[in-house]
Chain A
Amino acid sequence: MEKLIGVWIAAFLTLCIYSFLYRDNPFYRFAEHLFVGISVGYGIVLSIHQGLIPLAWTPFWQAITQWPPGWGLTKLIPIAIGLLFFARLIPNYAWLIRYPIAILMGIGSGLAIPNVMQADIFRQVHGTLVPFSQIHAGTLSGSEIFGAILMLIGVISTLTYFFFSVEHRGVVGGVSKVGIIFLMIGFGSAFGNTVMGRVSLLIQRVEFLLQDWLHLI
């Protein structure tokens, strides 16, 4: 019974949103605002049940109820820092939010530097150059050699295009034009895949309406 009611409500809301394709109307606006409210409510529940309670409340409770007091008491410090976020809601003390933000920014930036360097720079440059050692060893076929050379040209020309400190004239201009060609092909392939991505959502909704709601298939 709850499934039947749920399907009819879902179908109604789906059609409310699709009514926007004709034009903006009260049904669409109602569904849009309901969606915002439900999503925010869902976010609150998850943030508290799967975030605050296990990661903040549980360590806090364990810290203050532990006897004798141990290392767990240090958990009170990040909890106090986290509570400073709510200073944002009090105009005279809103500046206190800078403390937790600064700590999170520092941690994030510190983690990023070595890991991004390793994963996105060293490994990617390595990946670009490794085929040439394989060419030297004679383990690549003709088409693979062509692919490796094409890849090197593409990477260098794309990087040259994004290097705006030098004017794009002469040799630099020519190389950056080649970079634009690679970028355009890349964006075209991204567009082709995006069409597939968006259309699959539509197919799923139509399947729901025809199968689960109208039982036509």
Chain B
Amino acid sequence: MRRQVPLALCFVFGVVMVLIEFSPHPYSKFLYNEVINWSLIITPFALVLGVATLVQTHWIRIRRRAEYWQYSFVVFIGMIVMVAIGIPFGPSHKAFAWLFKYIQTPMDATMFSLLAFFIASASYRAFRARTLEATLLLVAALIVMIGNAPIGDLIWNKIMPFGENLPSTARQWILENPNLSSRRGVILGVSLGVISQSIRIILGIERSYLGGGD
């Protein structure tokens, strides 16, 4: 019951979805639509559970007086305010949109913008042409950076009498040739991995998604 039935369900649904792909029969289409609808209905519950788990985590932090536990109250206040406005009035309501626009959006954007500083700092401290591979990485990165900046083409066109817009052309050439080849190799490798892992999941060889225990 605890492991055999889930494995059997996984096998049945997996095989059905693979076989349906190759069958143009109207019954197959009907079955396909039903399975997709079922998964659409099941998925939102997983989202809500994810949120419930996060709430549980912060509640435990408060109970155990973990480090900075007082800030967990801030988490709850923020959450309760959003829920109190959003649930009765909906996400298109003016107040909810205001909270999203002036509180969530600025903080989210600012958090990620910190990376701009760290990238610059890390580039200066760690980006060294110690080996051939590191040099290639460095040169490609510098060409793409200057090619991306409009000032790159402007300076080049003013200084050099040949190769109009060479920085952006060089950037585009790198992206469309060596970069494309390496990415394609990665895509092929990853895809083969995805397919083999999917087969293992369907056949019940890969069971880590069931978690530990009985």
Question: A and B: direct contact (Cβ < 8 Å)?
Answer: yes
Chain A positions within 8 Å of B, measured between CB atoms, are: 2, 5-7, 9-11, 13-14, 17-18, 20-21, 29-52, 55-56, 59, 74-75, 77-79, 81-83, 85-86, 88-89, 95, 98-117, 120-121, 124-125, 127-128, 147, 150-151, 153-159, 161-162, 179-196, 198-199, 201-202, 204-205, 208
Across-interface contacts of A31 in B (CB, < 8 A): 107
Add 14 more A-B contacts to A33-B74, A41-B83, A107-B14 (CB < 8 A).
A33-B71, A38-B107, A43-B50, A46-B86, A49-B90, A98-B211, A100-B45, A111-B17, A121-B191, A154-B184, A183-B182, A185-B179, A185-B182, A201-B109
Contact A98 B143 (CB under 8 A): no
Chain B positions within 8 Å of A, measured between CB atoms, are: 2-3, 5-7, 9-18, 21-22, 34-35, 37-56, 68, 71-72, 74-83, 86-87, 90-91, 96, 98-117, 119, 123, 133-134, 136-145, 147-148, 171, 174-192, 194-195, 197-199, 201-202, 209-211, 213-214
Across-interface contacts of A48 in B (CB, < 8 A): 44, 48, 87
The answer for the CA separation of A95 and B210 in the assembled complex, in Å, is 8
- A107-B17, A185-B182 known; A98-B81 Cβ under 8 A: no
- A95-B2, A110-B16, A113-B199 known; A189-B179 Cβ under 8 A: yes
The answer for the CA separation of A43 and B123 in the assembled complex, in Å, is 35
Nearest B residue to A205, CB-CB = B113
- A179-B185, A208-B106 known; A189-B82 Cβ under 8 A: no
Best-buried of A105, A186, A193, A195 by chain B (most CB within 10 Å): A186
Across-interface contacts of B148 in A (CB, < 8 A): 192-193, 196
Contact B188 A159 (CB under 8 A): yes
Across-interface contacts of A198 in B (CB, < 8 A): 112-113, 115-116, 119
- Looking at the complex, which one of A41, A85, A153 makes contact with B78 (CB distance below 8 Å)? A41
A contacts with B: majority SS: helix
